[in-house]
Structures are given as structure tokens and as C-alpha cells.
Chains A and B, each alone.
Chain A
Amino acid sequence: MATTAAQHAPLAAVAGPTGLWSWITTTDHKRIGILYGVTAFAFFLIGGLEALLLRAQLATPNGRLLDADTYNQMFTMHGTTMVFLAFMPLAAAFFNFVVPLQIGARDVAFPRLNAFSYWVFLFGGLFMNASFLFGAAPDGGWFGYVNLTSKQYSPGLNIDFWVLGLAILGTASLVAAVNFIVTIINMRAPGMRLMRMPVFTWMTLVTQFLVLTAFPVITVGLVFLMFDRFFGTNFYNAVAGGDLLLWQHLFWLFGHPEVYILILPAMGIVSEVLPTFSRKPLFGYAVVVYSGVLIGFMGWGVWAHHMFSVGLGPIADSVFGAATMLIAIPTGVKIFNWIGTMWGGRIDLKTPMLFAIGFVAMFIIGGLSGIMHASPPTDLQQTDTYFVVAHFHYVLFGGGIMGLFAGMYYWWPKAFGRLLDEGLGRWHWILIVIGLNLSFFPMHFIGLLGMPRRVYNYDPELGLGFLNMMSTVGAFIIGASTLVFVYNIWVTAKRARSASANPWNAPTLEWSISSPPPVYNFSVLPEVRSRLPLWREDGLSRIPDVPPEPVHVPGGSYWPIVAAFGQLVIAVGAIARVLPIVLAGVAVLVISIYFWAFEPFEV
């Protein structure tokens, strides 16, 4: 490879190639990160629109906006979209863009595999949403409980789209997990020891191990369901000796780690933003890191708390209840450490900081309501009601999405060379805080007062019209806040690229190079001598503006998108029940992997 790398002229590399083709064939982790971000944000808007439709329907008792079937498709697609198409890939955008920069690498370990992940995600998301065109969007809930999702009770294409779509998306996540684990373990710059890694990179590492171990479990569950639906097997056929609870165990064995797959990256982002804007190092770095690792481990031992109403028996309920409560300890420790970070600092309330503080404040509420249904007896009254909806929206929206927005405002100048507007950013924050509390806080009461989840209508007799209307108004305020964010992007895009290398005066490695970074990231591989290299004198070796010698950066390749397309063709063939199309897809996949493997990977 050294020969091709040597052909690369360093100065030409600063700009990088342009044009659509260069984006389709790109293997640059920064570009893939931006692609992930844009695509995921588009899906986030779609999922948000679905949420607004749901809330509009529930604004009054016996709403007439959506019929039962449409409502069921909407809540299924809202959950599925937000988890798999918006939240995870938004986090992936940060993994891609930030992690190599934070560890002082020139790219991820497998750049073409990285491109493959993105294209598979894009095609999987399009495939899943194409179901709307056939009036057959998935309608079994994001949790897809059997036997409702078996052929007998869901004979349409809806669940086929869901099963195949998730199977495709799982590939993208798994491949990316391998890629990032190898990248973080093997590609750190000299001196970037594990305990010098930024917390975001640490949380990425933990998250990727969770993905690597959790996705095979859901894949097994999905393959069983696929076999039941396509080939008439009886894994989930209770009448033929199958077991309906097998699916629930498999799904939640994946599903609970999945919750941490969603929240840990946001926790990592917050752990970067809080120290930067408090002008103080993270309080108890090692404890925060280990809490994250511990949360990852404990996340595997609590899945049955999603199943207390199933009737697992007193011993199982007690054990899973207690294990769930234990997770509150490392989580609480993190929260205290974040407050400790701010304590005695010099807090600069820039937009990223506002969102990070919002994360902490809202996450506390979500954590506390989580404790309430960690207790199995009280969970029997709360599970499958709006109380749980309130809980996980505080955790995943008030926490997770706020954290991701903090990251967007924080790394936006690094990615695009422009700062987002502070004034609009503050409006975004104020609206989102008001909107989410107005929307999700009443849901606690709606649930406790007896309204189940996933119902398309409710009786006026329940007396919950007013609270539901409040919640709907809040949802639309959240929608408005998102428009402010979009407007912010649009306005600032017209401004000059004036961001300096380190506009926030942040301590970590990604801020040592220009905004946006050159194609090769670091002109020479830096030598790291501190956990906060930019805050310490002599924390980092000097990085020249121009590479002293030619730099090897990965070149473009179209095989990743072709291979990903092969997977899409397989799924299309399967949903159309046409074997030759499936075989053609397999052929495309295998052939493109062959050419990919033997491709001279030039710059």
C-alpha cells in the first residue's frame, strides 16, 4: 500500500474530491459521519411527524384523525424509526466523525466496511419505509410480540417488511461495531492510553461491545420469526408446542442492552461538553468510565423487567427487580460526577452546555420513574401504560436526544467550519425543554390514572382529555423547536467558514486540527502526553499545518454501495416471494465482496 499512498500529494488532499460520485464512493470517516447524520436526521423528522400524528389523534377522547390500523402502523413506525433509523445512526454519525479524531487516527480501521455500514443502513431504512407505499407499514409494535406478529394473526406484508428491514439494519450495526472496536483498540495515537481516552470514545467502545453481543440475539429471534412466516416453522406456535415467551426473552435480551446502546453515547457526549464549558476536567474520570462499563455489563442482567406482567414467578421477579435497581447506582454516580464537574467551575452557558445540562436535569426524572417500575409490584400497575411512555421519553428524548443535540452544537464547527447561531440555539433549547416537559410530564399521570399504551382511542369517561391535550400541545412545541434548529442550520450555512480550530477552548485531540479537518486529519500522528492534551502545556506533540511527507489516506470505492444494494435486492425478492430476485441479490453481494477484496485500494 505504501506505493499508492506515496502518490498522494499532501496539499491537494486538504480540499478533497468533490461531486456526487465522490460522496457515493467515499470512505472518509468524516464524510460517512456527515452522511449518517443527514440521513438519520431525515428519519428523525419522519419519526417526529409520526409522533405528531399520534398526539393529534389522542388530543381528545375518541379522536377521528386516524383509523385504528393507521394508528397502529404509526406507533410501530414511530418506535422503530426513532430507535433504529434516527437515534442509533445519529450516534453513529458521532462515532464516525469524532472517534478517529479523538484518538488521533487518520480513519477507522476498515474504511470501506464503514461505507458499507452506511449504505446498508440507508437501504434498510428506505426498505422499511417503502412499506408505506404499499399501505402495509409494520403494525406489530416496535417490540413485535408473537403470536400477534405470526402469519396467522398478521397475514399481510406489514410484518415481513419489519422483519426483513430489521435484519438488514442489524447487519449495518454489527459491521460498524466490529469496525469501531478494532479502531479504538488498535488505532490510537502514540500515548493515547486507554485511561487517557476521552469519555465519548470510551462510551463508544462500550456501546459497540453491546451492539456486537446484543444484535446476534435479536437476529436469532428475527430468523425464527422469518422462518415461521415464510416457511411455516413453529418456533412461536404455541398450539404446535412452540413458546410465545421465547420471543419475549430474545427480544428483551437484546432490547435492554439496546437501551444502553442508545443512551451511553449521549452520556459520552455530555461528559465531553460539561468539562469544556465548566473549564474544569471531568470529575472522577475513572469512575465515570467504569460506571459506563458497569452499566453495559449490568444491562445484560435485567431484561425480564420488561416482562413482570407475564407471570415469571416471585423469585424471578425479585431477582430482576433488584438487579434493575442496582443499575441506578452507577447511573447515579455518573450524575453526581457531572454535577461535581460543574461545581466550582466557570460555567459558560453556550448552547451545547445548555443541552448537556438539560440532559442531566431530564435524565434524573427518567431515572427516578425508572426506579418506580423496577419494583415488580408497582410495575404491574405501570407497565404498558403512559407512565412507561413518560419514563422512556424522559430518558431517551429528554436525555438521549438532548445529549445528541448537545453533540451537534458542540462538534458542528469541527464538521463544517461554522458555528451554529447562539441565539437560535437558545430558542431551540427553551422550546425543547418546555415542549418535552409539557408533553411527557402529564403522561405520568395519564398512565397512573389508567390509560394503556398503544390504544388509538380512549373513553371520555376516563377523565383524561385535558392531560392528553396538554401532552399534544407539548409535542407540537417540540416540533416547533426542531424547526428552529433546521432554520439555524439554514441561516448559518450562508455564513463564512470562520470557526477556529478550537472555538470552545476544549481539551481533547479533535480540537487540535483545523475546522473542518483536512482529509488526512493529522499531518503527523500526534503524540499524546495527557488526558487533556490541549489544556496542558506539553500535553501534545506539535502538529504542523502541512504534512512534512505524503500521507496515506484511504481512497474511494463503489463496491460497498454495490454490496449493500445486493442485500436490498435480497430483501425485495423475499418480500415479493420471487426466488430468482433473491438469488440475484445474493450474487450481487458475493461478487461485489469478491471484487472489493481484490480491489487495489488507491487514493
Chain B
Amino acid sequence: MHDDVEGSGLSAVLTWITHAIETLTIGRDFATMCRGWAVQFSSRTLLTTPLLHANGCAMPSFRLTPRHVWARPVMLVVALALSVAGCGPYPQSTLHPRSDLGTELSDLYMQIFWWAVLVFIIVESLLVYAVIRFRARPGQEGEPKQIYGHTALEIAWTVAPAVILVFIAVPSVQSIFRTSQPPPADALEVEVIGHQWWWEFRYPEYNLVTAGEMHIPVGRPVSLVMTSADVIHSFWVPRLAGKRDVILGRTNRLLFTADSAGVYLGQCAEYCGTSHGNMRFRTIVDAPADFDAWVQQQQTAPPPADSLTEIERRGVEAFTSVRTPASNSCIACHAIEGVSFGVLGPNLSHVGGRTTIAGGILPNTTDGLRRWLTDPAGEKPGSLMPNVDLSDAETDGLIAYLQSLR
């Protein structure tokens, strides 16, 4: 049969390849070396763009020799990739990690990225070359040589991806197990609870409850124990850790150690309903002394009612008054130490000390508080906090009172 194809015995060959992959033991070193090589290669041919300088990075500039002109488009993409990887005002960048876990994930990503760049260049070049080199030209006669296949080539391009995958799979699996260790004894445990659409943080060690902003100390392992109060959410602070879903009825864990103090933005990464886009939060990594001071402040009971100013006292009244329907009362959902016990909304005992409110979408300022108190659903669509129809006097009082709760 003239169109019979090669391939007899190919399955035996595939089996053999599989065994070879199994018996190959390759560590991380070679991949690291290749990565270093790839960086060198790209640096040497990098096209210097204003973009790189604009970001204020210490990115060395290089001249592009004519020999490398073909590499221009590819290198531009690489340059863009590097520029976004290394620097820039990107507060939720996964490529700019500030913890051991974040660095682990980002390093692994960069390893795989360079393999992908290598494969991309080879395969796309072959494709483009084939299209240009073998395009039909006028004057050609007859048919091109009819080729049905080539067993050696087939085997080669089956083995080559398999080998590359070993270099990706082995570090991946190693990384999985490295990042799945049980928390050390000195780890700070924080319970994270996802709500529609805000985050609650509990510190059993210090008997603290807060919301919207998680404080952790720099350099101390943090063990997050996470669950949800309602639908599935996903906890994500890109610069500190990868995502972990929080699921009603299940407990998930995340372990990392932040290595620099600072404020790190995060937001829910699993679609969780109307205001999924508004479910944001901040992780504030404090120097140890600052963290201790924060803990101490959180452990201090709010000032007693008789020490409040008159306007703040009006706020307490507005906060504690029972409205119609009763579920419209502040105390139905919110707890303030010594005042109320609500658990459906964020604990407000020390709300005045936070930088943001309403699930991280509004600044904790007089204006921000006013906007939130007068029209919760307008600020955060679908908000479970009802519009209570506060009088102006009540609003002013509440703002003053909440700001006093430091």
C-alpha cells in the first residue's frame, strides 16, 4: 500500500522512553544552571528600551549587534517580561515576592518560564522558517516530494518534550513537598475566615479578633488556618503566598515567613458572588516591636463610655439602639468589646486603628466612613450591611465613635 505509514514498534519505543524517564534522576542544579545560561543569553542580546529605565531598575543596557536583529521581537517580549518581573509599581505582583513561600513559587515559575521561552523560540522559528522557506513560488512544477513520516524524527520529538518535562516536573514536585511542611512550633497561628465580602482574622495566641487587615511580624513563621463562613473564597496575598481556597466545612492551611516589613495588598481570588471584586484586604508585616505594640493595643479594652466626648456618646447610642427591623441594628451584627456581641459582621472593637474599611475598598477616614454608613450597597454592591437610614446626627456620632476605637 503506497500510503502505509511508519510507526510499527513505536509503542515499544514509547514504553522504553517511559522507563528511561523513570530512571533518570535529575536534581535542581541543572535547571538552575540552564536558567543562568538563559539569563546570560538574553542579557547579551537584550534590546535596551526606555521602558526598562523608566521603571528605575538596575537593568544593564546592551548594544544589539546586527547579528542579533532577528531576535528583536522575541527579546522585546523578554524585556517586557523582565521589566514587569523585577520592578514597577505593582503591589500585587507575584513576581516580586516578600516571603519564603512567595520566593519559592516565583523562582520555580522563572525556571519554567525560561524553558517555555526556549521551546517557544525553537518551535515558532521552525514554523515561521517552514512557512517562508517552503512557500509556493511561480515556476515550480510538479508536486513536492511526498513524505509520509520519519520514525527517527518522530521518536526524537517525542523524547525531547519528555526530557524537558522532567526538568519541570522534578523541581515542581520537590517544591510541592517543601511547601507542605507542618508548621514549626514557634509559628504564629492566625485563623482566617472568609465572609461575603470581607475577611476575618483571629489570633488565638493573643485572643484577638480583627477584620480587613492582618498584622503579622516579619521573620516569624505564620501559620494560617483557614475556612469560610459562607461560600468558597480564596485567600491571596500575591507577594507573600499563593492562593488557598477557604471552604465551608473544611480547614485549609498556609505557612510562610514574611521577610520584609510593609503593607501587602491581597484580595479574594475565587468568584464568590456580587462583590467578589470588592473583597480586598491588607497584610501588614510589622517589625517585631511594632507587632508587639499592635497586639498590646488590640488587647486594651476600648475606653469606657463616661470617658467619651458628647458626639462620641451619640455614636454609642446610635450603635446600640434597636431599630426596626431589629436586624437593622448595628449590634445585631457587630461586636465591640464591652458593648455588643454580634458575629455576622466585622468586629469593630479597634476599628479606628485600621487604615481601610468595608472589605478594603474605602479609606478609614471621616469621608470614607460617611460614604459607607450612608450607602453600603452603593459602595459595595450586594453588601449584606443594610442601608439603615441614619440621621445626619447619628452618622456624625457614629463616625466619631468608630474613629475613637483605636
Contacts and interface: CB of A to CB of B under 8 A. Distances in A.
A322 B2 contact: no
B10 A287 contact: yes
Contacts of A365: 120
A368 B382 contact: no
A285 B5 contact: yes
Contacts of A376: 172, 176
Interface stretch (A64-72, A89-97, A212-220, A508-516): A64-72
Contacts of B165: 325-326, 328-329, 371
Contacts of B59: none
Contact of A340 (B106, B153, B382): B153
Interface stretch (A250-258, A381-389, A416-424, A595-603): A381-389
Interface in A334-353: 335-337, 339-340, 342-349
Interface string A311-327: 10110011001100110
B161 A68 contact: no
B224 to A, nearest CB: 11
A100 B129 CA distance: 36
B143 A346 contact: yes
Interface string B266-309: 01111111111110100000000000000000000000000000
A364 B128 CA distance: 13
B109 A378 contact: yes
A368 B381 contact: no
Interface stretch (B199-207, B238-246, B366-374): B238-246
A301 interface: no
Contact of A448 (B94, B147, B150): B94
Contact of B131 (A145, A357, A381): A357
B25 interface: no
Interface stretch (B33-41, B208-216, B226-234, B310-318): B226-234
B245 A309 contact: yes
Contacts of A284: 5-7, 148-150, 154
A348 B277 CA distance: 48
B144 A336 contact: no
Interface in A259-280: 278-280
A10 B378 CA distance: 70
A370 to B, nearest CB: 10
A347 B231 contact: no
Contacts of A502: none
Given A329-B161, A346-B136, A448-B94, A530 B2 contact: yes
Nearest to A385: B269
Interface stretch (A166-174, A454-462, A487-495): A454-462
A14 interface: no
Contacts of A311: 244-245, 250, 252-253
A321 B249 contact: no
A374 B164 CA distance: 14
A313 B179 CA distance: 11
B321 interface: no
Contact of A321 (B143, B153, B169, B234): B169
Contact of B176 (A314, A339, A464): A314
B358 to A, nearest CB: 13
B130 A339 contact: yes
A333 interface: yes
Given A287-B154, A322-B169, A371 B252 contact: no
Given A69-B382, A245-B247, A378-B108, A450 B270 contact: no
A457 B196 CA distance: 17
Contact of A329 (B131, B144, B162): B162
Contacts of B250: 238, 244-245, 311
Contact of B234 (A72, A384, A463): A384
A532 interface: yes
Contacts of B162: 329
Nearest to B158: A333
A72 B7 CA distance: 50
Interface residues of B, number: 100
A457 B278 CA distance: 8
A381 B94 contact: yes
Nearest to B85: A448
Contacts of A1: none
Nearest to B115: A371
Contacts of B161: 328-329, 332-333
A283 interface: yes
A349 to B, nearest CB: 6
B135 A347 contact: yes
B169 A364 contact: no
A454 B231 CA distance: 15
B38 to A, nearest CB: 14
A144 B237 CA distance: 25
B236 interface: yes
Contacts of B236: 384, 452
A342 B161 CA distance: 21
B157 to A, nearest CB: 4
B146 interface: yes
Nearest to B10: A287
Contact of A67 (B128, B148, B160, B381): B381
Contacts of B6: 284, 286
A450 B157 contact: no
B69 to A, nearest CB: 21
A346 B140 contact: yes
B186 interface: no
B273 A148 contact: yes
A245 B196 CA distance: 19
B119 A318 contact: no
A329 to B, nearest CB: 5
B157 A536 contact: no
Interface string B154-187: 1001101110010011001101110110000000
Contact of B112 (A286, A375, A384): A375
B325 interface: no
Given A454-B276, A536-B3, A287 B149 contact: yes
Contact of A371 (B116, B149, B253, B270): B116
Interface in B62-106: 80-81, 84-85, 88-95, 104-106
A378 B92 CA distance: 15
B265 interface: yes
Interface in A134-154: 141, 145, 147-148, 153-154
B148 A283 contact: yes
Contacts of A336: 123, 153, 157
Contacts of A348: 135-136
Given A322-B173, A333-B154, A532-B3, A68 B381 contact: yes
B91 A462 contact: yes
A34 interface: no
A45 interface: no
Nearest to A319: B173
Given A329-B162, A346-B144, A457 B277 contact: yes
Contact of A445 (B84, B169, B274, B280): B84
Contacts of B84: 445, 448-449
A42 interface: no
Contact of B93 (A337, A383, A448): A448
A430 interface: no
A290 B149 CA distance: 14
Contact of A463 (B90, B145, B242, B274): B90
Contacts of B176: 314, 317-318, 321, 376-377
Given A284-B149, A318-B173, A448-B93, A384 B230 contact: no
18 contacts: A68-B275, A147-B231, A285-B3, A285-B149, A326-B165, A329-B162, A337-B154, A340-B150, A361-B127, A376-B176, A381-B109, A383-B243, A383-B269, A449-B95, A452-B268, A463-B89, A531-B3, A532-B3
Shortest Cβ-Cβ A-B pairs, 8 listed: A450-B92, A380-B242, A455-B277, A238-B249, A68-B381, A284-B149, A375-B172, A336-B157
Given A346-B143, A448-B93, 11 more contacts: A145-B270, A145-B271, A238-B247, A284-B149, A285-B3, A321-B173, A328-B165, A339-B130, A348-B136, A357-B127, A365-B120
